[in-house]
Structure 1
Amino acid sequence: MSSITVFGAGSWGTALSIVLADNGHDVLLWGRSEAAAEEINDRHTNGKYLPGISLPETLEATTDLEKAAAHGEILLLVVPTKAMRDVLKELNTLLDRPVLMVHASKGIEPDTYLRVSQIIEEEISPEKRRAVVVLSGPSHAEEVSLRQPTTVTSSSLDTEAAEEVQDLFMNQHFRVYTNPDLTGVEIGGSLKNIIALGAGMTSGLGYGDNAKAALMTRGLAEIARLGMKLGANPLTFAGLSGLGDLIVTCTSVHSRNWRAGNMIGKGKSINEVLDEMGMVVEGIRTTKAAYQLAGREGVEMPITKGLYDVLFNEKPPHEAVEELMGRVKKREVEDLKLGETDPLNRLEP
C-alpha cells in the first residue's frame, strides 16, 4: 500500500482517487473548496463534478496544502494547467523529502510552450522529486468513476517510475500501458483538445460525419508533425495518447472541449461558453500555445491556425472552415519507401 496525495478535486482527480482507493492505497484528495471537502468526507460524494457517484469510504479530502504535501510519498497532480505552476511553487516550499511526481493534466503553457512535466521540473527542486511521470490516454472521468473498462499510458524518462505508476493504478477496470516517449504522450494528450474543439464546432455548424472524420484525420496529422519536430516517436500518435485520446475527446458528450466547440459553432462567444460551462476548457488555452509553438518551430498547422483565428481573432467559424477547404491542393502523403521509420513525418499539411 502506498500513501498518495491527489491534488485537484475536480472530476478527473476524484475519478483517479477512486481507482487508487479501490486498489487499497491510502489516498488523500486535496482541493480548494471547504464545502467539497466536507461533502467527500461526510457523505462520500462529489456532487458538483461526479453526480450520482458513491466514493470509497476510505477516501479522505482536505483543503490544507501543508497536510496534503506531508501525506504522500507519491503526489498526483490533476489541477488545470493554468494553475499548475502556482500549486507547484507552494509545494516546493513545503516538501522536505524526495517524492514521485505524477501528473494527469493535459495542456501546454502559453508563452513558455512548456509541457506539464517541464513545468514540474522547473518548479520542484531536483532533490525533492524522485522522478516525473505522466498518466494520459482516452479516459472520461464519468466512465472511470463507474468502473467501466479504460486503458491509459504511463510515461516517464525513468522506466522504473513509469512501471511503478502502472502498478499503482492497474486493476480489472483500469488497464495501464507504459511508453518511454514522454514528449509524444504529453503532446498527443494536449493537442487533441484543440481538435476536439474543432469537432464540436463542426457539429454546432450543422456539419455531419464527413466533416468530423476529415477534421480528426487531418488533425492527427498536424499533431504528429509538431510532435515529431519536438522529438516525439511517430508511433506514439497511433497509440492511446494519440489516436485513442483523439477519438474519445472528439466523439463523446462527456468531452468539455467538444461541448465548448459545439456552443461556439452555434454562435456563442468564448466568455458565454466558459460562464455557462463553469469548468476549465483546456483546449482554448492550448490552442494559443500550440499556434505560437508551431510558428516558432516552423510547422504548418492549418486546423490549429483556423481555430486560433476563431477563438482569438473573432473570425466566424464558417469562414475558418471555408479557408481550410479552399487551400491549395496537396498530396495526402508523399511516396513512401519500404522500411521508412518516420512515415507520419511525411504527412503534408
Structure 2
Amino acid sequence: MVCQRIEYFNNNGGEELNDRRKRVTIVGGGNWGSAIACVVGKTVKRQPEIFYPYVNMWCRDSRKPGDSSESIAEVINRTHENAKYLPGRRIPENVIATSNLLDACEEAHILILVVPHQGIEQICKELNGKLLPDAQAVSLTKGISSDGKKLKLISQDIEDALGVKCSVLMGANLAGEVADEKFCEATIGCKSIEEQGNILKQLFDTPNFRIRVTTDYEAVELCGALKNIVACAAGFVDGLGWAYNMKSAMIRLGLLETKESYFESCGVADLITTCFGGRNRKVAEAFIKSDKPLAQIERELLNGQSAQGPPTADDVFEMMELFGISEKFPIFTAVHKVFHGKMGQDGLYDAMRTHPAYDN
C-alpha cells in the first residue's frame, strides 16, 4: 500500500504534503462491504479534487492459528475480488485491503462501517481515541442495541464510543446488484446536510446508485433494522409453504408495525427487497423447515456471515415486554418467539389472523 501511494504521488508532482482531500476507509470485508468498495473505489477516483485516490478496506482475518492460507485482505489485494463473500465482482485496484484495523482507520476522515452489529462494540473499543479529530462515520449496519432499559440506534452507539458524528446509509440494496452496477437507490440519514450529508452524497452517489439525503436519520436507521424482522416473518411464510396472499399480508402488516419513512428507499422498497431476496428471509425459511439451530443454519447458508433479523427481534421484544406493548406488535413478537421455539406455525398464523390492524 505504501509503495502504491508513493508511486502515485511521484507521478503527480509529489502533492501528498498538505493534502486536504478526504481519506476514506471501509470497515468490513463481507459481501456488503465489498459491494460498497466497488462503488466508492470508483467515486473517489472520479473526484480527485475532493477525495484521496486510495480507499482502505479492513477485512477481519478469520484464519485459525497455523493456517498458512491467504487472508481475505491478501486475496483482495492480489486478485481484486472477494472470492469468499462476493465472487465474480471486481473490486477497483485503488481499494487496498488490510487485516490491521488501526492501520486502515487512523488517517481516515470518513469511516464506512459495514459489519454486523454484534461486532460494532469491539471495533469501536479498538479505535477509541485513535481517530483523526475531524473524522466522521457512516453506518451501513442494520440493527438496534439494547441496554435492558431502552433501545439505542447503532449510530448512537458509534458516536458514544468514538466521539464522532455518525450518519447512516440504508436502502433497497442487494450486494451483488450494487456491485454489478444495476440500478439501486439508498437513503442517507444525517444530523446536518451541510456538515455530513453533502460530502457523503458525493462519496456514494453514482448514475446507478442514487442517493437521497434526509435529516430524519432516526427513521432511516429504524427502517433499516426493523425490516429485517419482517423479512424473517416472510421467510417463515415461504418455509411453511403458505400462499402468496399470506406473504403479501405478512409484509403489509409488518410494514404497519414499522410505520416509519414508508416511501423512502430505506422503507417500503428495502422491506420488499429484503422479504424476497435477502439473507434474513433465506435463513428464516430454512429455520422453520428444519430442526437445526439458528447458528448452524447461518453457518451453512451465509458462509460465515450473520442474519441481523433474529437479534434485532430479540432486542425489540425485550423493550416491548418492558413497556407492556407486545400485543400491539404481533408480527415482531411472533418472529422472536418462533426463533426461540416458543411459537409454531399455528401461533404465527394467528398473529396475522388476529392482527390489531383488522380491528378498525
Return the TM-score normalized by structure 2: 0.83
Structure-1 separation of matches of 2:338 and 2:359: 25
Q: In the TM superposition, what whole-angstrom CA distance separates every residue of 1:32-53 from its partner, at most 9, and x where no partner exists?
A: 1261000110111101111111
How many residues are matched? Answer: 316
1:198-213 aligned within 5 A: 198-213=233-248
Report the equivalent of 1:71: 107
Relative to structure 1, is the Cα distance of residues 182 and 297 closer, same or farther in structure 2, using a 3 angstrom cutoff? farther
Which residue of the other structure, out of 158, 165, 172, is the alignment partner of 2:192?
A: 158
Confirm or deny: 8 A CA contact 2:156 2:166 kept in the other structure.
no
* Structure ID, larger Rg: 2
Gaps of 5+ in 2: 1-20, 46-52, 62-69
1:284 shift after superposition:
0.8
1:280 equivalenced with 2:306 (yes/no): yes
Confirm or deny: 8 A CA contact 1:106 1:282 kept in the other structure.
yes
Structure-1 separation of matches of 2:154 and 2:78: 33
Structure-1 separation of matches of 2:212 and 2:228: 21
1:132 equivalenced with 2:166 (yes/no): yes
Report the equivalent of 1:118: 156
Confirm or deny: 8 A CA contact 2:168 2:217 kept in the other structure.
yes
Report the equivalent of 1:93: 129
Q: In the TM superposition, what whole-angstrom CA distance separates every residue of 1:308-334 from its partner, at most 9, and x where no partner exists?
A: 111124432x1222321453775465x
Report the equivalent of 1:227: none
Which residue of the other structure, out of 226, 231, 252, is the alignment partner of 1:191?
A: 226
Confirm or deny: 8 A CA contact 2:236 2:288 kept in the other structure.
yes
Which residue of the other structure, out of 261, 266, 279, is the alignment partner of 2:289?
A: 266
Report the equivalent of 1:56: 92
Relative to structure 1, is the Cα distance of residues 208 and 36 closer, same or farther in structure 2, using a 3 angstrom cutoff? same
Bigger Cα displacement from structure 2, 257-266 vs 63-72: 63-72
Which residue of the other structure, out of 280, 304, 322, is the alignment partner of 2:349?
A: 322
Secondary structure of residue in 1 paired with 2:25 = strand
Secondary structure of residue in 2 paired with 1:93 = coil
1:292 equivalenced with 2:318 (yes/no): yes
Confirm or deny: 8 A CA contact 1:10 1:49 kept in the other structure.
yes
Report the equivalent of 1:220: 255
Report the equivalent of 2:27: 7
Relative to structure 1, is the Cα distance of residues 28 and 214 closer, same or farther in structure 2, using a 3 angstrom cutoff? same
Secondary structure of residue in 2 paired with 1:237 = coil
Structure-2 separation of matches of 1:248 and 1:96: 37
1:100 shift after superposition:
1.3
Confirm or deny: 8 A CA contact 1:155 1:178 kept in the other structure.
yes
Structure-2 separation of matches of 1:306 and 1:61: 41
Secondary structure of residue in 2 paired with 1:175 = strand
Structure-2 separation of matches of 1:73 and 1:326: 50
Return the TM-score normalized by structure 1: 0.86
- TM-align CA RMSD: 1.8
Gaps of 5+ in 1: 225-233, 334-349
Structure-1 separation of matches of 2:107 and 2:128: 14
Report the equivalent of 1:145: 179
Structure-1 separation of matches of 2:79 and 2:331: 45
Counterpart AA for 2:306: V
Secondary structure of residue in 2 paired with 1:114 = strand
Q: In the TM superposition, what whole-angstrom CA distance separates every residue of 1:151-188 from its partner, at most 9, and x where no partner exists?
A: 00011111221222111111111110011111111110
Counterpart AA for 1:305: T
Confirm or deny: 8 A CA contact 1:104 1:136 kept in the other structure.
yes
Relative to structure 1, is the Cα distance of residues 97 and 175 closer, same or farther in structure 2, using a 3 angstrom cutoff? same
1:306 equivalenced with 2:330 (yes/no): no
Report the equivalent of 1:231: none
Q: In the TM superposition, what whole-angstrom CA distance separates every residue of 1:189-246 from its partner, at most 9, and x where no partner exists?
A: 000000101111101100121011101100011111xxxxxxxxx4x12321110110
Counterpart AA for 1:247: I
Relative to structure 1, is the Cα distance of residues 156 and 298 closer, same or farther in structure 2, using a 3 angstrom cutoff? farther
Report the equivalent of 2:208: 173
1:68 shift after superposition:
1.0
Structure-2 separation of matches of 1:94 and 1:195: 38
Confirm or deny: 8 A CA contact 1:110 1:288 kept in the other structure.
no
Structure-2 separation of matches of 1:328 and 1:142: 35
Counterpart AA for 1:118: Q
1:17 shift after superposition:
1.1
Structure-1 separation of matches of 2:40 and 2:166: 18
Relative to structure 1, is the Cα distance of residues 188 and 332 closer, same or farther in structure 2, using a 3 angstrom cutoff? farther
Counterpart AA for 1:173: N
